[in-house]
DNA sequence: TAAATTTGTGAAAGTCTATTCACTTTTGTT
DNA sequence: AACAAAAGTGAATAGACTTTCACAAATTTA
């Protein structure tokens, strides 16, 4: 009779797949794509190299999945912020801050996902991801402009500039091995204000942008 | 008696070296680091692979030299603009515009130099280069703030954001295979205004930033 | 428990490219 | 011209990977 996977087996397979993805994400987060060789990923996941190929046809496809997972998660968070309460300026600030804070938690991951190139295949996926980030910002911008909060501007250019601005500002210190923790809050605050000014948002009601009511709490990265 | 290189030979060797560097730059410009294999560079330079190693000890060192050459050239241009006439805001705009325009001429080159990672060695060199770009912008910012043209802000963060903003805005369309030429002027103008607003510069006297006096002509990339 | 089928293993094969090196050609000295 | 030294060649080497595959272990059916 035909072979049928038991429920338990189903679960174990799904679990393996999950563990592979997580292993890859962890390694990328720790040391960029450079550190995430197939062997390393397999070892980290507690499987043999060969087994990996039962779950993913190639390294590239594995990475694309890792990328998409992470971005889906990220975009969901940003979406929630952008579709939330408050003025467009407030929401824009909250979105930038949220993204920046999480990026600082896993700098290599952010870098790998936004900038570090790999196969053509992965690159293609990444471009779509960047656009997804851009789209979130475009939404707030469009709304802010419609409401008269921001001056008229090219949405796509501004959105791309925002993504680029904080990417660079976040990645540079990473590369320079700057000590973590200390100046992070200030760094994030400055990036937020840079972006706010850039889109022509009015000054933050709370003052200089350093000590103001925390309108939106930044959720932690999903762990499940 | 000891071997002594004739003047003619000296010249030819120097010429070869130069040709290798140019070949590498050309290939990188055409298709990024990916396309610039040692074999390809050698062929493009009209030499054998082996010969290349008489001029450079490794691929990484060759790339570092290409990078430094290009950046030195670029920074010199920006320096001239930043140390020139006019308000800080005008000079900042001119610098961003100049950089953006030249980057659009060789998009892959700009990308490879600013973002595309390679060996640790090349990466290290690139970080220094980015800082050099950042320093130029920091100078205008500091001056503008001192003069009361711009509000107080973290120089290093703003400078990094500027570099990041136009990098992303310039690179994204490249990756997306957008048609060149048509929207370029608009793209550059929008990026310039984004950065100007971001540092808190007053509105451009010339209006929306699209049709205004060309205060500073952008020099072409050096060809010699 | 035996046969059938799927899953897991890890050494070996395949791939891609930087680097080397035995050899040829060219250049400089006597 | 004859010899020494340097520059140039490109096939072979080398190393770091991904990917495969013959085989072992585990799981499902009868």
Q: Cα dihedral angle (B54, B59, B61, B63), rounded to 10 degrees?
A: 120
Give yes or no: residues B143 and B62 share one domain. Answer: yes
Residue B6 has a pLDDT of 87
Domain identity same for B212 and B153: yes
Q: Measuring CA to CA, which residue among A139, A185, A186, A182 is closest to residue A162? A: A139
Confidence band (pLDDT; 50, 70, 90) for A47?
A: very high
* pLDDT at residue B173, as a whole number: 54
User: Does B135 lie in the same domain as B101?
Assistant: yes
As to burial, measured by CB atoms within 10 angstroms (0-12 exposed, 13-18 middle, 19+ buried), residue B93 is buried
Cα-based distances in Å from A106 to A111, A174, A221, B18, B146: 9, 10, 10, 41, 36
- pLDDT band per the 50, 70, 90 thresholds, residue A125: confident
Residue B135 lies in a domain: yes
Catalogue the long-range contacts made by B42-49 (C-beta closer than 8 Å, 24 or more residues apart): B45/B16, B45/B19, B45/B20, B46/B19, B47/B16, B47/B19, B47/B20
For chain A, what is the radius of gyration of the CA atoms?
Answer: 20
Answer yes or no: is B2 within a domain: no
Instruction: Say if A215 falls within a structural domain.
Output: no
Cβ atoms of B192 and B97 closer than 8 Å: yes
* B6 nearest nucleotide via C1' and CA: C28
> Same domain, yes or no, for B34 and B72?
no
Examine the domain organization and report whether A177 and A129 are in the same domain.
yes
Residues B185 and B222 in one domain: yes
CB B214 within 8 A of CB A210: no
User: Which bases of strand D sit closer than 7 A to a protein CB?
Assistant: 4-12, 17-22, 27-30
| Rounded to 5°, angle at Cα B144 from B138 and B150 | 105
Confidence band of A128 (pLDDT split at 50, 70, 90)? confident
Q: Give me the long-range contacts of B146-155 (CB less than 8 A, separation at least 24).
A: B147/B87, B147/B88, B149/B87, B149/B88, B149/B89, B149/B201, B149/B202, B150/B88, B150/B89, B150/B199, B150/B200, B150/B201, B151/A197, B151/B200, B153/A190, B153/A193, B153/A194, B153/B199, B153/B200, B154/A186, B154/A187, B154/A190
Q: Which nucleotide lies closest to B52 by the C1' atom and the CA atom? A: D8
Residue A27 makes CB contacts below 8 A (sequence gap 6+) with: A35, A36, A40, A41, A44
Q: Is the pLDDT of residue A179 over 60?
A: no
Over pLDDT 90: what percentage of chain A?
A: 50
3-state secondary structure at position B88: helix
Note whether residue A217 is domain-resident. Answer: no
d(C-alpha B74, C-alpha B126), whole Å = 14
Sorting pLDDT into bands at 50, 70 and 90, what band is A123?
A: confident
Residue showing tokens 């933050």: A204
CB contact under 8 A, B153 and A190: yes
Query: To 5 degrees, how large is the angle CA A106–CA A196–CA A81?
Result: 60
Chain A residues closer than 8 Å to B197 by CB:
151, 197-200
Predicted pLDDT at A207: 44
Question: Interior CA angle at B172 toward B180 and A171, to 5°?
Answer: 145
Q: Quick: pLDDT tens for A139-178.
A: 999 999 999 999 999 998 899 889 888 777 776 554 454 5
Q: Which bin fits B72, alpha (ψ -120 to 50), beta or left (φ > 0)?
A: alpha
What rounded mean pLDDT belongs to chain A? 83
Assess A141–B contact: CB distance below 8 Å, yes or no. no
CATH number at residue B13: 1.10.10.60
Same domain, B195 and B108: yes
CATH number at residue A43: 1.10.10
Q: Are residues A32 and A103 in the same domain?
A: no
Instruction: Say if A221 falls within a structural domain.
Output: no
Radius of gyration, CA atoms only, chain B: 20
- Examine the domain organization and report whether B68 and B87 are in the same domain: yes
Write out residues 82-101 of B within 8 Å (CB-CB) of A: none
Q: Which residue has the higher pLDDT, A59 or B122?
A: A59
Does some domain include residue B87?
Answer: yes
Question: How many A/B residue pairs have CB atoms within 8 Å?
Answer: 109
Classify residue A151: in a domain, yes or no: yes
Q: Are residues A131 and A146 in the same domain?
A: yes
In-domain check, residue B86: yes
Co-location of A28 and A103 in the same domain: no
Average pLDDT for residues A114-132, to the nearest whole number? Answer: 78
B172 to chain A, closest Cα gap in Å: 8
- Is the pLDDT score of A65 beyond 50? yes
Q: Quote the CA–CA distance of A47 and A62 in Å, as a whole number.
A: 15
Residue nearest to nucleotide C28 (CA to C1'): B3
For chain A positions 96-125, those within 8 Å of chain B (CB to CB) are 115-117, 123
pLDDT, position B206: 55
B200 CB within 8 Å of a chain A CB: yes
User: In this structure, what CATH number is given to the domain that contains residue A114?
Assistant: 1.10.357.10
Cβ atoms of B152 and A209 within 8 Å: the answer is no
Among A56, A75, A93, identify where a domain stops.
A56
* DSSP code at position A59: H
Answer yes or no: do B72 and B172 share one domain: yes
Q: How many structural domains are present in chain A? A: 2
∠ Cα B24 B191 B80 (to 5°): 65
Secondary structure of residue A11 in the 3-state scheme: helix
- State how far the alpha carbon of B16 is from the alpha carbons of A24, B54, B56, in Å: 44, 10, 11
Note the pLDDT of residue A169. 77
Q: Calculate mean pLDDT across residues A132-141.
A: 93
Are A187 and B161 an interchain contact pair (Cβ–Cβ within 8 Å)?
no
Residue A208 neighbours by CB distance under 10 Å: 13
Least CA distance to B160: which residue of chain A? A169
**Which ranges of chain B have pLDDT less than 70?**
1, 106-107, 110-111, 113-117, 171-182, 205-224
Domain membership of residue B16 as a residue range: 8-56
């Amino acid at each position: 009779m035909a072979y049928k996977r038991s429920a338990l087996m189903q679960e174990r397979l799904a679990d393996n797949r999950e563990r592979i993805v997580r292993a890859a994400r962890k390694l990328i987060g720790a040391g960029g794509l450079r550190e995430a060789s197939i062997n390393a990923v397999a070892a980290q996941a507690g499987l043999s190299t060969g087994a990996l190929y039962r779950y993913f046809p190639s390294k590239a496809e594995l990475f694309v999945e890792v990328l998409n997972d992470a971005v889906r998660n990220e975009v969901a968070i940003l979406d929630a912020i952008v579709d939330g309460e408050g003025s467009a300026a407030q929401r824009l600030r909250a979105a930038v801050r949220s993204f920046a804070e999480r990026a600082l938690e896993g700098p290599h991951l952010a870098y790998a996902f936004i900038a570090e190139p790999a196969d053509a295949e992965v690159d293609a996926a990444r471009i779509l991801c960047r656009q997804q980030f851009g789209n979130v910002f475009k939404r707030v911008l469009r709304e802010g402009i419609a409401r008269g909060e921001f001056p008229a501007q090219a949405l796509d250019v501004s959105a791309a500039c925002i993504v680029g601005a904080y990417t660079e500002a976040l990645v540079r210190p990473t590369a320079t091995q700057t000590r973590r923790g200390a100046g992070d809050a200030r760094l994030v605050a400055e990036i937020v204000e840079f972006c706010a000014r850039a889109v022509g948002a009015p000054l933050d009601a709370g003052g200089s942008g350093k000590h103001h009511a925390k309108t939106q709490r930044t959720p932690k990265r999903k762990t499940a």
